[in-house]
Structure 1
Amino acid sequence: MIVLSGIRAVKILTWSSSPFDLTAALVHHTQLTPVTLRCMRCVSDLDTDGGSAKPSEIQPSAWHAHPSIRKVVIFLWVVVAACAGWAALVMYIWHKYAYQDGMLSDHALTIQTWSFLHNESSNSIGYHMPGFAWILLYVNMAAIQGPLTLGLHCSELIANVIRDERQWRCATGRNGLRTATNPLKMIFTHPICLVLFVAKPFLHWMFGLSLVIDATSTDGKTTLPVAVFMYTGQIWNLCIALFIFSCFFTFVALRRPRGPQPAAYGHLQTLANLVDEWSPVMWWGHKEDGIPYCHAGTSDYPLPDVKMDCIYAGSGAGSLVPVS
């Protein structure tokens, strides 16, 4: 009821998840105002005073453009370090208390006992929890699995901004930028989104192999203490997989797009500054010559490439002469 009441009370400008549709709707309803003289300014230039600029052959990476991207990448590596520390702690406990506790396996972690799936020869430690204290078990699982879930969820931010930037850079291609797109098609045709789509369940499955809960129940009630087992080899497998995952997203976040088209990464204000003509299919490029500044923008027909030796500021920056 609260959600329905909120929908009725708030005017929904667009249901589209595309940053281009949202920016166009906000500009149309005067809730977002384009800033003049910033037709060659990318998202990382928001903190500057703006003004004229020459085209750059290479654009800033998502790491430099979005502070949130840096936080996500750093958090992913914190999760990797925490997973490695978890595995090291399990190994330390096993070596210190080996053969002294029935909850510790009899097999050390070696190349021979290391496997992807745990078995009778797998190295592990375990501990008991009271069968009635399910809330403690949930808290225990949340404390261990929570950072993994949060890291994978936040990785969507990297995938989304890279996907939006890839779509924006279609404006300099032969077919132009189509603002109306199928969200499912965008997910299943973008490599980074596919990687994340596969990695999420796979990494959670690997976590399930690392931490196993064993309980016995009678008549629907747990009669014995709940046993929690941690398998060393499988924890290291999870750590290696997270390391590869973090390397991939770090590379993606640090990769710098090439070409003079200013990077936006889905930032609404930047898109509003760069797009001066909205249409279902748009091209970006050189629009007008001027003294002392030229103008770059969008149009519903293909535009020539910007001139790398010219200074661009916008259509209102000086006395402009149409391109002949």
Structure 2
Amino acid sequence: MNESTPQSRNRHGSAPDEQNKLLVERLEDDEQSESIVDRASNTRHGCIGAIVVGMVLSFLCLISGTYMLVVKKKRLGAPISLSTPGQEALSLAINLVLALCTDGMMFVHSASLRWELYREHRLEFNTNIRLFTSSKKFGPNKWYINVIALVCLILSYAASSVLFVTLVNDEELGHSIMINATALVALGLGLVGQALIGIWCLVASHKHILTWSSNPLNSALVLLQSGDLTPRPGRCMQPVHQRHAPAQPAYPTKAQGSIFRANRTVRYILGIIWAMALLAIAWPIALVLFLKVDADKAKSWDVVEEAKCFEFGFNWSPVTYGCHINEVLLALSPDLNNGNKYNTDYSYGTQLILCLLFVCLVQGGQTIVLHCLELLVNLSRDEAIWRQAYNESKKASGTQRSTNPFYAAVSSWENIILFIAKAVMHWIIGQSLLTVFEWYDPTEYLYESVSLIPYYHYGIYFYMIYSRLFIYAILAVFLAAFGTYLALKQPQGCQPAALGHLQTLVDLIDDWKTNEDGRMWWGDKTGSEDSVVRHAGTCCGEHELGPIHMEKYAGGQVAVVSLRTYITDSSV
């Protein structure tokens, strides 16, 4: 049982007996009705389902990819009957499924991290940047496991980008599309790595995760009931930005502080996402300049007229020759890159592995940006949940401690944008870096004195299409602007901002009881219109609360700690 401080005894002792009695009755009703903590067991079941799906998909990829590597040794892949638009649509669908599957599996990792930080007394915000925040003791959330999880995530998206290879001049198949067995195995490895980390979290921390809910109100209530957090009196109008300031009455403000001001990590996140946006802009510009310079040089050569000009255009399809050329070739073998197709430094299999590693390098930066953006989205989501409790201009819907995570995700426009971005940004990179497997005619020979040197049969190229990369750059700038908006947005209204900061929520919520629909509201609870210093708090009945008086101080006593602590204090 928690020991009460002298200040708390004096505070409760000075309160009217009738108010104390009503408060005890309210808290007893809460415990009797078991409207305490949502353990969100259905969310856990959903996470288990996501891990099972991830394991099944990973095994399918590993088995089919390994089979192709063993049986289809000539091309290390299998042809597939698909049109170019069909291949593009299928790639987008794969990225959508991949984003959904990885989000579901790594939700376990996030929940595990939250409650391991709690056990280490380091949990401050409900949302943390998962792969860049580590536990000091717990295996699945240690820094090196985070690195492995990040590598698996990057590998999954990189493999999906080079899963389909365009065959050019193939002796048997001509121009067609092939499934890349190397990428298929890599995709399986990425998925199985994330699934195993999720299973590790489930097994090792099933007793330590106090709730599977990501709702910040529910997390705050868990810490309140455990006695790790207690309300600090007189802070009913102090937002998260004043969490280190002493308690004092304050006038309500019409706008609250931003995420940028509340969380120091955000400034680094903005730097990362804007740096990525600038690189995305520089990439297609560099290709255009290269093609322009190349065309200018060709004017002094004895070549056909079409090679001596360059005209900028936005063709989606690759144009490999003429004035409207929109792609630059990058070979994975240096000799091929220098135009020497008679020899090669690397074997075909080595080129496929280098192809995957190169795309990992490109997709790695994009994956980190999207993961950082996820922190801003989740902080904004946490604040949106809290702000449902009050609205000055219209009837508030009321906030809920218990929410279905799937419904919470699809009802949040920020989450929808982030989910679409995860699929589309990785997909557009894959479409901008078209992987081409070029086959050389083995009947052609280069004559050198008396010897005959056959052409090398295989070469892996990237067609870097600047028109598609400009689309990627536009989307990257949009994402950076979206992240900046979330970071600098100031919530409107006099309701103090919490941004998922758990101690602030415990300070602001003085009545955790909800109505039959599981909702509660926030507003003025002073009762007397003549009081100069007023009190704002929560209630399960909207009609029991009044509007906030903008011209008067708010900072009245917050009486709720927990039922056990309150009874102890009142009995002294």
2:354 is equivalent to residue 148 of structure 1: no
Partner Cα distance (1:47, 1:88) in 2: 47
Name which of 363, 385, 389 aligns with 1:171.
389
Partner Cα distance (2:501, 2:558) in 1: 23
Match of 2:311 in 1: 110
Q: Given the superposition, is the C-alpha separation of residues 128 and 278 from structure 1 closer, same or farther in structure 2, using an over 3 Å criterion?
A: same
Partner Cα distance (1:316, 1:198) in 2: 42
Q: Given the superposition, is the C-alpha separation of residues 147 and 107 from structure 1 closer, same or farther in structure 2, using an over 3 Å criterion?
A: farther
Moved more, 69-78 or 201-210: 69-78
Shift of 1:108: 6.5
> CA-atom RMSD, angstroms?
2.8
Match of 1:186 in 2: 408
Shift of 1:241: 1.9
Query: Where do residues 68-217 of structure 1 align in structure 2 (5 Å cutoff)?
Result: 68-98=265-295, 106=307, 110-111=311-312, 113-120=313-320, 121-129=324-332, 130=346, 131-133=348-350, 134-172=352-390, 173-215=395-437
Match of 2:82 in 1: none
- Which one has a bigger Cα radius of gyration? 2
Match of 1:274 in 2: 508
CA contact (8 A) 2:233 2:556 kept: yes
Deviation track 1:266-294 (CA, whole Å, cap 9, x = no partner) reads 22121111111112321111112697632
CA contact (8 A) 1:106 1:123 kept: no
Name which of 235, 244, 247 aligns with 1:38.
235
Shift of 1:33: 2.7
Partner Cα distance (1:294, 1:266) in 2: 25
Partner Cα distance (2:399, 2:558) in 1: 25
Q: Given the superposition, is the C-alpha separation of residues 50 and 215 from structure 1 closer, same or farther in structure 2, using an over 3 Å criterion?
A: farther
TM-score normalised by structure 1 residue count: 0.84
CA contact (8 A) 2:232 2:558 kept: no
CA contact (8 A) 2:231 2:558 kept: no
Q: Given the superposition, is the C-alpha separation of residues 107 and 209 from structure 1 closer, same or farther in structure 2, using an over 3 Å criterion?
A: farther
Q: Given the superposition, is the C-alpha separation of residues 118 and 45 from structure 1 closer, same or farther in structure 2, using an over 3 Å criterion?
A: farther
Deviation track 1:50-93 (CA, whole Å, cap 9, x = no partner) reads 42211111111223233333332332211110111222332333
Match of 2:492 in 1: 258
2:545 is equivalent to residue 314 of structure 1: no
Partner Cα distance (1:84, 1:316) in 2: 52
Identity of aligned residues (%): 29
Partner Cα distance (1:212, 1:255) in 2: 38
Partner letter of residue 242 of structure 1? A
Q: Given the superposition, is the C-alpha separation of residues 41 and 29 from structure 1 closer, same or farther in structure 2, using an over 3 Å criterion?
A: same
Q: What secondary structure sits across from 2:211 in the alignment?
A: coil
Partner letter of residue 316 of structure 2? F
Query: Where do residues 221-260 of structure 1 align in structure 2 (5 Å cutoff)?
Result: 224-260=458-494
2:551 is equivalent to residue 301 of structure 1: no
Deviation track 1:235-281 (CA, whole Å, cap 9, x = no partner) reads 11211122123223322332222111001122212111111111232
Q: What secondary structure sits across from 2:525 in the alignment?
A: strand
Partner Cα distance (2:307, 2:500) in 1: 54
Moved more, 299-308 or 88-97: 88-97
Partner Cα distance (2:558, 2:213) in 1: 31
Shift of 1:40: 0.8
Partner Cα distance (1:22, 1:315) in 2: 23
Q: How many equivalent pairs are there?
A: 308
Partner Cα distance (1:36, 1:106) in 2: 77
Q: What secondary structure sits across from 2:434 in the alignment?
A: strand
Partner Cα distance (2:539, 2:353) in 1: 59
Match of 2:451 in 1: none
Name which of 500, 509, 523 aligns with 1:285.
523
Partner Cα distance (2:258, 2:282) in 1: 31
CA contact (8 A) 1:109 1:232 kept: no
Partner Cα distance (1:5, 1:191) in 2: 33
Shift of 1:157: 1.8
Q: What secondary structure sits across from 1:125 in the alignment?
A: strand
Moved more, 81-90 or 132-141: 132-141
Bigger RCO (CA 8 Å, 6+ sep): 1
Partner letter of residue 158 of structure 1? L
Match of 1:321 in 2: none
Partner Cα distance (2:357, 2:510) in 1: 52
Q: Given the superposition, is the C-alpha separation of residues 109 and 193 from structure 1 closer, same or farther in structure 2, using an over 3 Å criterion?
A: farther
Shift of 1:21: 0.9
